[in-house]
């Protein structure tokens, strides 16, 4: 009889995640793991799809839990959505190039299956930066000027992280970063898109990026493909992917929170400085909506 798969990973911040093929997930402190025998040393066995999901989503939940007490939940405003679109552009524009860089490295390392996975992902992500630009233009914004002159502070750290992960000698962590971003995006639902539509002028569709990076777009398939692929990786790789998913979740939670906590007047000032002209954002009727950026419990 084969025993059900149990996987475990120790992440930074003093926690270990233990996940079973049955779908159960536990969080332990490293001290508790050290006392409990089997989880005191890194796992070495094969993975399974369900236990891999448990580890990856457990890592995201742990990362976001660190900011739980300071979590910003402001009503979304049009300036906030424009800032989010600029952030979306920056987290997308270099993705194919970065993924191909990591793919080439795995080619050199004799790992054709990782190369093929990363090349597929690079293909699928190509052109997503243009969706954000189109949305900005649809809102009457000088899209090219805004993205050329402005990277929201909270997004800079994410972009830097992905750049450096893809340039590592063993860039497996890039998969953890991508999983984190895509999993969070896939949580967005039709109702979130509808709320954004209420912010846009009548007849304007500025939700191309959001729709494609939501539970209604290709993101769901990307997430499923990544889980299936990670489950086939050797234990050492799965550990690194989960550890990076956690690190990316921490950076993302702090970065998003930082942006969400900014006063609207500050956002408008930053946008107008980048545009080099008044954008009329302060004069629009205030219609607000709230999008939940939290990962599922």
Stretch that binds Fe ion, among 24-32, 47-55, 177-185, 277-285 (CB under 5 A): 177-185
Size of the site for Fe ion (CB under 5 A): 4
Residue (76 or 122) nearer to Fe ion, CB:
122
> Mask: binding to Fe ion, 224-263, rule CB under 5 A, as x and -?
----------------------------------------
Stretch that binds Fe ion, among 31-39, 80-88, 142-150, 221-229 (CB under 5 A): 221-229
Stretch that binds Fe ion, among 40-48, 100-108, 174-182, 273-281 (CB under 5 A): 174-182
Residue (22 or 221) nearer to Fe ion, CB:
221
CA distances from 109 to 56, 102, 103, 115, 129 (A): 25, 11, 10, 10, 30
| 222 contacts Fe ion (rule: CB under 5 A) | yes
Question: Which positions from 85 through 144 interact with Fe ion, judged by CB under 5 A?
Answer: 125, 128
Residue (129 or 259) nearer to Fe ion, CB:
129
> Mask: binding to Fe ion, 178-217, rule CB under 5 A, as x and -?
----x-----------------------------------
| Residue ranges binding Fe ion (CB under 5 A) | 125, 128, 182, 222
């Amino acid at each position: 009889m084969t025993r059900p798969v149990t996987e475990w990973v120790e992440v930074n911040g003093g926690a270990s995640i233990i996940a079973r093929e049955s779908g159960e997930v536990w969080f332990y402190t490293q001290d508790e793991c050290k006392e409990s025998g089997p989880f005191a040393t890194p796992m070495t066995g094969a993975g399974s799809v369900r236990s891999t999901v448990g580890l990856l989503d457990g890592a995201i939940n742990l990362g976001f839990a660190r900011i739980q007490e300071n979590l910003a939940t402001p009503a979304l405003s049009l300036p906030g959505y424009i800032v989010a679109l600029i952030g979306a552009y920056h987290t997308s524009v270099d993705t194919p190039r970065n993924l191909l860089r990591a793919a080439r490295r795995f080619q050199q390392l004799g790992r054709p299956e990782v190369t093929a996975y990363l090349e597929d992902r690079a293909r699928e992500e190509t052109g997503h930066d243009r969706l954000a630009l189109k949305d900005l233009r649809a809102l009457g914004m000088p899209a090219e000027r805004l993205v050329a002159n402005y990277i929201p502070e909270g997004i800079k750290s994410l972009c830097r992280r992905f750049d450096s992960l893809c340039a590592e000698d063993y860039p497996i962590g890039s998969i953890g970063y991508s999983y984190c971003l895509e999993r969070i995006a896939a949580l967005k639902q039709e109702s979130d898109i509808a709320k954004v539509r209420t912010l846009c002028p009548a007849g304007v569709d500025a939700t191309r990026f959001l729709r494609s990076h939501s539970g209604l777009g290709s993101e769901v398939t990307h997430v499923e493909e990544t889980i299936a692929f990670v489950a086939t990786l050797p234990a050492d790789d799965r550990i690194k992917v989960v550890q990076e998913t956690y690190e990316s979740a921490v950076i993302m939670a702090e970065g998003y929170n930082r942006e969400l906590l900014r006063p609207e007047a500050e956002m408008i000032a930053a946008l107008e400085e980048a545009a080099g002209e008044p954008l009329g954002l302060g004069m629009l009727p205030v219609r607000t909506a709230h999008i939940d950026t939290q990962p599922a419990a």
